[in-house]
Amino acid sequence: MLEGFSWTPRGGSAIESSERMRGALSRAAARSLQRNAGPPRTSRDDLVEWARTHLRDRKFVVVSNREPYSHTRQGNGVGWVRNAGGLTVALDAVARALGGVWVAHGSGDADRETVDAHDHVACPPDRPAYTLRRMWLSEIEHAQYYSGLSNGALWPLCHIAYVRPRFRLEDWERYRDVNRRFAEAVLEEVGDAPALVFLQDYHLALAARFLRERRPDLQIALFWHIPWPNPEVFRILPWKKELLEGLLASDLLGFHIRAHADNFLDSVAATLEARVSREHLAVERAGRRTWVRDLPISVPSEEIAALAALPETAAAGQRIRSELGLDGCKVGLGVDRLDYTKGIPERLEALERMFETHPEWRRRFAFIQIAVPSRVELKEYREIGQRTRTLARRINRRFPRPGGPTVHLIESNLDFRDLVPYYTMADLCAVTALHDGMNLVAKEYLAATPDLDGALVLSPFTGAARELERAFIASPYDREGMAEAFHAALSETAESRRERVTALRETVLRRNIYDWAIELLDSVESLGLRTPLPEVGDLTNG
């Protein structure tokens, strides 16, 4: 057995432990079957019902940098794509259920031609359910607010993936201006009406402050989709005070896991004069209270499972296998934005190591890496693309396979319906991030495995690993360990695979994106944010 894996038996003989493990997995499988036969899980309709009873006359506005759908020139006409990226994919399911307005940067090359006079376009384009309000950013705004401050400074600062953050005053000033512009667009959308504004992520840390200045009565929540670093790391940010003040203008701040919420509270305590309650997970400052909550995001599991169970999906999976020459071969899969935090080169190096140490997998195992190019204006992102290509070529040269290449690198953004067949046909999915707020690919893969025949190799540095403890947990910083994890995942017996995936899948089915949305929106409501501040006795000085 491999040391350091969450499924390594501890105490007792290996046989006893593995029997106990088997028993536990069987019980989990039985519970899952019962649940399947039991009452339905939280659905899109539950979220719609929540909105009907709770939102009533309030407008619902989602705000993010990236838009969920972009219009692009395609030949002589105009088409559209759903943008890859965890945040937009998850929030699209919520916005489709709740309607309302989504304010985001219009980045497609045909975006301007498809909006009306108010910069509105109905989304999703094929089945409209909400209004997308596009914001236009100039080249310099995009370069400084998005590439500079958001992705050149805050992204590496929060991920601690050993890429040095770049702090430039001009980027910060532009970030502030663009956040003000996002706030103005929201204010235009809500007019004088009461509204619940749901801000997304590290691009918009200051927007709540600008909203609050003009409309103190708005309900504002912000979800931070990436990790929050510990105070020792956070304190290098030159504008840490202003960033925290911007965030604390929200009524509720959400993080995926408790460790990130705690890091946030510790950062506030170390930076600002504020009353921080670790017990109540709240900050009080200048007569305002902000609640902090850990609310792990999920995916529309039932919808993905239904898509995966379609006969067309199985047929598409078969087609992929024969087109890529994978018949009779075990197949591994990676699906990521090409980002240095996702651990793609580390994954390929571990794969190469497995071929060295376990030659029985040569010619019998192939890996498909679907990587959508991301943030290519930044050097670190171009370099990660080059490293990935070089490694794929090296493995293919060293370990050739008669049917086709051992590593297939597909550098494109696939429509979700085209992605699902890859999930369903893969024997193994590798999620090897160096650090990740959650990682939705892990959850999508499990939801898309209705035949229960799969394996998930998962980095312990993802938020997902807190929930998916029965995955093959392996560190991307440990090449040997990850190579062994690949081998173990591929060598597991069919019965044990099935039991493990059943248990993992149950976690993803039990808590889906609608649970997340209802819990988050309910927290904004139930914490009594529209009423005068209740007394909280134990707030301690930070």
Considering only 90, 187, 348, 489, the residue that binds ligand ADQ (CB under 6 A) is 90
**Residue 493 in tokens:** 């017996």
Stretch that binds ligand ADQ, among 124-132, 332-340, 378-386, 483-491 (CB under 6 A): 332-340
Stretch that binds ligand ADQ, among 243-251, 306-314, 361-369, 436-444 (CB under 6 A): 436-444
Considering only 310, 324, 372, 488, the residue that binds ligand ADQ (CB under 6 A) is 372
96: contact with ligand ADQ by CB under 6 A: no
87: contact with ligand ADQ by CB under 6 A: yes
What are the residues facing 428 on neighbouring strands? 332
Considering only 95, 207, 426, 441, the residue that binds ligand ADQ (CB under 6 A) is 441
Considering only 85, 100, 405, 454, the residue that binds ligand ADQ (CB under 6 A) is 85
132: contact with ligand ADQ by CB under 6 A: no
Question: What are the φ/ψ torsions at residue 230 (nearest 5 degrees)?
Answer: -75, 165
320: contact with ligand ADQ by CB under 6 A: no
Stretch that binds ligand ADQ, among 5-13, 397-405, 431-439, 520-528 (CB under 6 A): 431-439
Stretch that binds ligand ADQ, among 93-101, 170-178, 360-368, 432-440 (CB under 6 A): 432-440
Contact positions with ligand ADQ (CB under 6 A) in 398-417? 413-414
3-state secondary structure of 402: coil
State how far the Cα of 190 lies from the Cα of 218, in Å rounded to an integer: 10
Q: Which of 441, 432, 429, 340 lies closest to 387 in space, CA to CA?
A: 340
Q: Look up residue 540 and give its amino acid.
A: T
State how far the Cα of 456 lies from the Cα of 485, in Å rounded to an integer: 10
Q: What is the DSSP pairing of strand 282-285 with strand 288-294? A: antiparallel
CB of 316: closest distance to ligand ADQ in angstroms?
15
The residue whose two tokens read 């996702």 is: 342
**Residue 514 in tokens:** 């609608």
Stretch that binds ligand ADQ, among 59-67, 86-94, 139-147, 179-187 (CB under 6 A): 86-94
Stretch that binds ligand ADQ, among 164-172, 185-193, 329-337, 470-478 (CB under 6 A): 329-337
CB of 438: closest distance to ligand ADQ in angstroms?
3
State how far the Cα of 7 lies from the Cα of 5, in Å rounded to an integer: 5
State how far the Cα of 384 lies from the Cα of 346, in Å rounded to an integer: 11
Start-to-end CA span in the chain (Å): 46
Considering only 132, 295, 438, 489, the residue that binds ligand ADQ (CB under 6 A) is 438
3-state secondary structure of 77: strand
CB of 473: closest distance to ligand ADQ in angstroms?
17
Contact positions with ligand ADQ (CB under 6 A) in 278-307? 297
CB of 334: closest distance to ligand ADQ in angstroms?
9
437: contact with ligand ADQ by CB under 6 A: yes
Q: Look up residue 496 and give its amino acid.
A: S
The residue whose two tokens read 């998850």 is: 90
Considering only 104, 137, 292, 370, the residue that binds ligand ADQ (CB under 6 A) is 370
263: contact with ligand ADQ by CB under 6 A: no
Q: Which of 487, 251, 211 lies closest to 357 in space, CA to CA?
A: 487
* Cβ 67 vs Cβ 107: under 8 Å: yes
> How would you list the strands of the sheet with 428-431, edge to edge?
407-410, 365-372, 330-337, 428-431, 456-458, 472-473
State how far the Cα of 529 lies from the Cα of 237, in Å rounded to an integer: 30
351: contact with ligand ADQ by CB under 6 A: no
3-state secondary structure of 525: helix
368: contact with ligand ADQ by CB under 6 A: no
User: In the stretch 45-84, what mask flags binding to ligand ADQ with x, by CB under 6 A?
Assistant: ---------------------------------------x
The residue whose two tokens read 């085209």 is: 418
* Shorter beta-carbon distance to ligand ADQ: residue 62 or 89: 89
439: contact with ligand ADQ by CB under 6 A: yes
335: contact with ligand ADQ by CB under 6 A: yes
Q: What is the DSSP pairing of strand 130-135 with strand 120-123? A: antiparallel
Count interface residues toward ligand ADQ (CB under 6 A): 24
86: contact with ligand ADQ by CB under 6 A: yes
State how far the Cα of 224 lies from the Cα of 231, in Å rounded to an integer: 16
336: contact with ligand ADQ by CB under 6 A: yes
How far is C-alpha 184 from the chain's CA centre?
27
Considering only 204, 226, 237, 392, the residue that binds ligand ADQ (CB under 6 A) is 226
Q: What is the DSSP pairing of strand 219-223 with strand 252-255? A: parallel
What are the residues facing 122 on neighbouring strands? 131
The residue whose two tokens read 């301007």 is: 112
251: contact with ligand ADQ by CB under 6 A: no
CB of 388: closest distance to ligand ADQ in angstroms?
13
What's 473's DSSP letter?
Answer: E
Judged by the rule CB under 6 A, the positions of this chain that interact with ligand ADQ are: 84-87, 89-90, 225-226, 297, 335-337, 370, 372, 413-414, 419, 436-441, 444
